[in-house]
Amino acid sequence: MDFNYSWKYIAGLIDSDGNIFLSYNKSTSGKMYPVVRVTIAQTFPFILFSLKNNLKFGQVIYSKCQKSWYYQFISHDARKLLNQIYPYLIIKKKQAGYCLGILFNEVSSPYNRKTIIDKKRRNSNYRFEFDESLKFNYNWFAGYFDGDGCILASKSKNCAKPRIRFMITIDRREISFANWLKKNVGGNIYKQGRNIRWSFELNTKAIEIGKNLLPYLNIKKIQLKKCMNWLKKYPTNIKKIVDITKTTKFIKEMSALKLEDNVLLTGTIDAYDYQKWTRTTAIYPQKIGLYYVTMGLVGEAGEIANIVKKVIRDKKGKLDLEIRKKLKKEISDFLWYSARLCDELGLNLTKVLEYNMVKLESRKQRNKIKGSGDER
């Protein structure tokens, strides 16, 4: 699955899972100067790594306190991003215009520098403000839904068919936004505790919404595809008898979907980004880390060799899909230990790969690929 990143999609993702901060730092001369920071939060980091490799600016970081990943843009990177997404922002358009207009003079803004310094007034005016006349766009909505939305499948007592719903939890002060969603795509609004929920039941009358949304989704694409396929088999407006076991199986499949099932990654992750991510899954004793990962690396290489050995013995050297999947799993573990070994040695995995390419390219140019010895 290829990721579909447009500025409209990124604007939707920032409207849901993003934040735009304005803070003040003190210079060496003692003067206060404003700093803009834009962040996108995700518990699953690879969507952020892929996004970074598409945008080519910003930084992906991990917060141990929040146990979450952030794609962070500061100062000039924030300016570059906000310039691109400002026309498409809906919920955080005011914050973006505030930062661009006052700090960078990029767009017209109703504020002045006195407003920035006045923290009380800034806090009251800087918050949510929504214009219900804004035009609805599915590309933007896909980004917003990938951030804050969910797809639920549940079975009612009186019907064997599952109810499939889109659901978004909306902050209480954003009732105007919930009404705007209802106006453009239908659905229901109801209160649950301190929050407002907008839900939309995906039935045959609303199948068009799923079709319009599907091309732009990245994170929840697999879930929506499964729901759409189910509805094609068992339309809700036709009284068709459905085996209860099929319904139960479908709901279990939807509930059991893992993050890696929802996000099928393409080869767009930087090696050093991967190395940084491995730190969050390294649970071995740090004092013997070097020895631990070295033994693990050798062990995984042995497992790969063992699988290939059995292919030669049992399948006459022919690789089938099942064997390829096993090898993929073991190779991924081997690469994890390789990244950890680089980290334990204080090496950058990207630089190690670059070094290997330069070394072998040099040997190729000098016709020294063949032969023995590390220094040839």
CA distance 347 to 350: 9
pLDDT at 36 (0 to 100): 87
pLDDT at 364 over 60: yes
Grade residue 147 by pLDDT with cuts at 50, 70 and 90: confident
As a whole number, mean pLDDT of residues 74-97 equals 88
pLDDT of residue 363: 84
Question: Which of 306, 302, 304, 303 has its CA nearest to residue 314?
Answer: 306
Q: How confident is the model at residue 67 (pLDDT cuts 50, 70, 90)?
A: confident
Once rounded to an integer, what is the mean pLDDT over residues 143-171? Answer: 71
Q: Where are the alpha helices (DSSP H) in the chain?
A: 7-17, 46-55, 76-85, 93-99, 113-117, 119-125, 138-148, 175-185, 207-213, 221-233, 244-256, 259-262, 271-278, 289-314, 321-344, 349-365
Question: Is 85 in contact with 67 (CB distance < 8 Å)?
Answer: no
pLDDT of amino acid 117: 40
pLDDT in tens, 1-38: 455 688 999 999 998 888 888 877 777 887 777 788 89
Q: Is 321 exposed, middle or buried (0-12, 13-18, 19+ CB in 10 A)?
A: exposed
Strand partners, 192: 195
Supply 116's token pair.
Answer: 């920035």
pLDDT at residue 83 greater than cutoff 50:
yes
Q: Cα 11 from chain centroid?
A: 14
Given a cut of 80, whether residue 167 has pLDDT beyond it is: no
Task: Pick one of 3.40.980.10, 3.40.50.300, 3.40.50.720, 3.10.28.10 as the CATH number of 138-262.
Answer: 3.10.28.10
- What average pLDDT does this structure show over 331-359? 92
What's the confidence (pLDDT) of residue 270?
76
Which residue from 109, 135, 133, 5 is spatially nearest to 58, judged by alpha carbons? 5
What is the greatest pairwise CA distance in the chain?
A: 79
With cut-offs at 50, 70 and 90, classify the pLDDT of residue 163.
low
Least confident interval from 252-266, 276-290, 327-341? 252-266
Per-residue pLDDT at 326: 92
Q: What is the pLDDT averaged over residues 306-332?
A: 91
Mean pLDDT, range 148-152, rounded to an integer:
78
Q: What pLDDT, on the 0 to 100 scale, is given for residue 70? A: 87
Closest CA to 333 of 302, 361, 373, 357: 302
As a whole number, the mean pLDDT across the chain is 77
- CB atoms closer than 10 angstroms to residue 62: 14
Q: Pick the residue with more confidence: 85 or 201? A: 85
Cross-strand pairs, 294: none
- What is the phi/psi pair of residue 289, to 5°? -55, -45
Tokens of 58: 């910003």
To the nearest 10°, the Cα dihedral for 358, 363, 366, 371?
Answer: 170
Rounded to 5 degrees, φ, ψ at 199 are: -130, 150
Tens of pLDDT, residues 91-108:
888 888 888 876 665 444
Most confident of the following: 118-122, 149-153, 223-227, 275-279? 275-279
pLDDT attached to residue 124: 39
- For Cα atoms 352, 355, 359, give the angle at the middle one, nearest 5 degrees: 140
How many whole angstroms separate alpha carbon 121 and alpha carbon 125? 6
The residues that bridge with 191 in the sheet, in sequence order, are 196
CB 82 within 8 A of CB 99: yes
Rounded Cα–Cα distance for residues 326 and 314 (Å): 15
Rounded Cα gap, residues 172 and 207, in angstroms: 28
Same fold across 7-89+92-125 and 138-262: yes
Location of structure tokens 């080869």: 267
**% of the chain surpassing 70 pLDDT:** 74
Residue type, 12: G
268 or 119: which carries more pLDDT confidence? 268
DSSP label of 136: P
Lowest-confidence range among 92-101, 140-149, 254-263?
254-263
CATH number of 7-89+92-125: 3.10.28.10
Domain ranges (residues) in the chain: 7-89+92-125, 138-262, 271-365
The angle at the Cα of 304, spanning 302 to 307, to the nearest 5 degrees, equals 110
| Ranges 56-60, 124-128, 175-179, most confident | 56-60
pLDDT digits (tens, 9 = 90+) for 181-235: 888 887 778 777 666 777 766 665 567 777 888 888 888 887 788 777 777 776 6
Q: Which phi and psi angles does 69 have, rounded to 5°?
A: -100, 145
Cα–Cα distance for residue pair 13/266, rounded to 1 Å: 20
Quote the pTM value: 0.69
How far apart are alpha carbons 45 and 280 in whole angstroms?
11
Mean pLDDT of 79-96: 88
Answer CATH for 271-365 from 1.10.287.1080, 3.40.640.10, 3.40.50.2300, 2.60.40.10: 1.10.287.1080
